[in-house]
Structure 1
Amino acid sequence: MATNEDTVYTTVGLRDLFSNPNKVWVVMASMSPHRPRILREHIGITNLLVMGSGFEEDLDKSKYDCAGDYCADTAENKARMVAKSIFTANDIESKNRLRSLLSNLNGNVQEDFDTDKIQIVIAADTLVFVNGQYYEKPVDRDDAKRQISSYPGVFQKIYTGVAIFVRSKGFEKPEAKFYDLTKVKYQKMTHKDVEALLDAHQYEGSAGSYRITMFGESVVEEMIGSYSNVVGLPAQKVSRAICEIAKKYSLNKI
């Protein structure tokens, strides 16, 4: 139900804040093309840059009872490394170095881009949990084949952890940190089906060899939860978190 209040509850209502180039910019701490695309196409953030974190993603999984917590902690480490680089760039030299590391979906940022306009840094981490095992990015085609062949007939749990840092709070602690879970069941597949998926190379760089975009979706029998979470970023939860941050820190007044 719509309300008459001035408070904005959705990123649709905040669209100008994240599309006017003179206002708030967001950095996705990821070199994956899919997560920035979700921010742009599903959430409506066009003031968007990307930057790799360099985090090794080597946290000890044995210390976690829940795969979602592992993903959220990994996302926090990714985001913190990028947020520190951005939020502490206070002189000409460090800002020039930062610009060389940032890029947008079309290439490098302009030399005169004001990095102080970057107010939010987001990172995410996705993995697949099935049959009591963690499935991350496959090391090669054989590893991808092993992963995909184990999917038909059973639900896979796809976890994506998210961490969001805001400039006003600094890089020590995230303003938002959470994970989302989507359950997916594949259809029965023949050897030919599996080989066709492998031949398309959609498994490359994807946790659990999952690439549900393109024709990977055609092998899905059932899905419970967020589609974008499987792609790599839960749009609904991220959108809500960004709205809360914008309201709390009065980003619309920047």
Structure 2
Amino acid sequence: MLEGLNALMSDPAAWVALATIVTMEVVLGIDNLIFISVLSNKLPEEHRVKARRIGIGLALVLRLLLLASIAWIVQLTQPVFEAFGHGFSWRDLTLVAGGLFLVWKATKEIHHTIDPRPNDDLFDTRTVGIGFAAAIGQIILLDLVFSIDSIITAVGMTDNIAIMVIAVVVAVSVMLFAATPLADFIERNPTVVMLALSFLMLIGTTLIAEGFGAHVPKGYVYAAMAFSAAVEALNILARRRREAASAPAA
């Protein structure tokens, strides 16, 4: 670790690697952050910030623990059995399980958004504790999936532990800073909720494909998400201008 810090102070290439990995970790953290934001918004308002902080804090802890187990992380990429002509590693199985969970969760939330049930116990104040515990449990599950994918990607880019630790801390700090503004924006704009759930569906499908050995370039996925977000931003702008134009003059 100390040698890594010395290299970071003296080697310009190390700074380039750090900037690259920080950028990559921040981008990969968007998936994690969208899930935490959507899920925390399902809780009563007084529990939302706490759930986000716990979720992002756990994401940091998991990533640091995984970094401390580099030898084990490397072994996760080794095939443990073969099926359908593809050797499945523990990483593949984790990605498939996480992707299936995301697809299930997004489908369930889309159905609830389209056909809400007034008596849904998730909104029942008598079951706040259960709802909060369930939310944290789901966040931990997806934190683990995203953390494994994130750290394995970082390990493939550098062998400097100090660079990886700094990149993870910076990326998670950005997530912590952006969590509440993102969640509040989603809450204020109902149509964005459906967009966010669609993103989760896309991310889940991508994780499943990656688990089965079909590599999907991240650039394509994030470009599609950015284009969809830009279209939604134009819709929000147009809607606000129509509302302003139809409002009675003072």
Report if TM-score (shorter chain) is over 0.5. Answer: no
Q: Counting helix residues as a fraction of each chain, which structure ranks higher?
A: 2
> Normalization by structure 2: what TM-score?
0.30
Tell which structure's C-alpha radius of gyration is larger: 2
Bigger relative CO (Cα 8 Å, ≥ 6 apart): 2
> Normalization by structure 1: what TM-score?
0.30
